Structure 1
Amino acid sequence: MNICAPFSITVESPEATFALGRRLAPLLTDGDVVLLNGRLGAGKTLFVGGVAEGLGITDPVTSPTFVIVKQYVGFLRLTHVDAYRLGGTAELADLDLMDNPGVLIVEWGEAVESSIGSDHLNIRIDHLSETSRAIVFEPKGTWQTRQIDRVLP
């Protein structure tokens, strides 16, 4: 069995960040959890917008910062959470999102990683320049056997 190690993809524009999210979408299945991290303005919501488009969602994706949770329906349901304002893992548990159908993407996911379990995909978006980003994929648990490194580069 091949194990997918962490890997990084450099994108040179916001459009490329969006496109990479769109390329990830077909690899997602019901029940998947993605934790998305990066500093303010890194492109987290833009990346989620690409995922949403790849899932057939036509509604515009906006940051869930003030509402905490947004849901969209396409080929799969997408639940988009902003954990920045959550008081930790207990508040995430109170939202009862882990058993919802579809895909769960959590921005600022490092704040709640300990409550997610071992099967998830960590994605970190690092600033390289005004427009360039390094997008680091770190598969955990069953994600390590999904070979996303062969599909995304």
Structure 2
Amino acid sequence: MYTCITKNVEETKELGKKLGKSAKSGMVFLLYGDLGSGKTCLTKGIGLGLNINATINSPTFNILKIYEGDLTLNHIDAYRLEGINQDLGFDEQIDGEGLTVIEWPQYIMDTIGDNYLKIEIIINEDDTRTFNFYPYGKEYEVLLKEIVC
């Protein structure tokens, strides 16, 4: 496990930017955290690292948003999918080209393979954020060694 602490939105975006710059096509990032913990903020930073010019916001109502940059960013919010037992076609994004970032992945874990980076975001009492990174796959170990917190 690797851990980083950010003190504000700017530091969270900067952490995301580092992740985006180091990401490779086919990678999957799973974001766990309470509402308001910084999942979308981190994703905005990832977009900056991928040189995405579009405004990145939560895909809660769309469920999936696709952004073009140095890599395609597939941004999935699975929050509203709890209890839905049907094939929604996410396999194409998760197993395809680009980087896939999934908020609330616990609701669609059966569609996610064994290689991914689990990112747990904890809101601390002083309103800082702790990011715990759990790499599942060699490529994620390499990525995390490039990111210095």
Give TM-score scaled by structure 2 length. 0.89
Could you list the runs of 5+ residues in structure 2 that have no partner in the other structure?
Answer: none
In the alignment, which of 23, 48, 52 is matched to residue 53 of structure 1? 48
In the alignment, which of 125, 131, 146 is matched to residue 127 of structure 2? 131
CA distance in structure 2 between the partners assigned to 1:145 and 1:42 by the alignment: 24
Could you list the runs of 5+ residues in structure 1 that have no partner in the other structure?
Answer: 1-5
Residue 76 (structure 2) aligns with: 81
Work out whether residues 20 and 152 of structure 1, in 8 Å CA contact, stay in contact via their aligned partners in 2: no
What does residue range 57-76 of structure 1 map to in structure 2 within 5 Å?
Answer: 57-76=52-71
Work out whether residues 7 and 149 of structure 1, in 8 Å CA contact, stay in contact via their aligned partners in 2: no
Work out whether residues 26 and 55 of structure 1, in 8 Å CA contact, stay in contact via their aligned partners in 2: yes
CA distance in structure 2 between the partners assigned to 1:83 and 1:106 by the alignment: 7
Deviation at 1:26, TM superposition (A): 1.7
Q: Aligned-residue CA RMSD in angstroms?
A: 1.9
In the alignment, which of 102, 114, 139 is matched to residue 106 of structure 1? 102
Residue 12 (structure 2) aligns with: 17
Give TM-score scaled by structure 1 length. 0.87
Work out whether residues 86 and 92 of structure 1, in 8 Å CA contact, stay in contact via their aligned partners in 2: no
CA distance in structure 2 between the partners assigned to 1:88 and 1:97 by the alignment: 21
Residue 33 (structure 1) aligns with: 28
| Runs (4+) off by over 6 Å | none
How many residue pairs end up in the alignment? 148
Identity %: 33
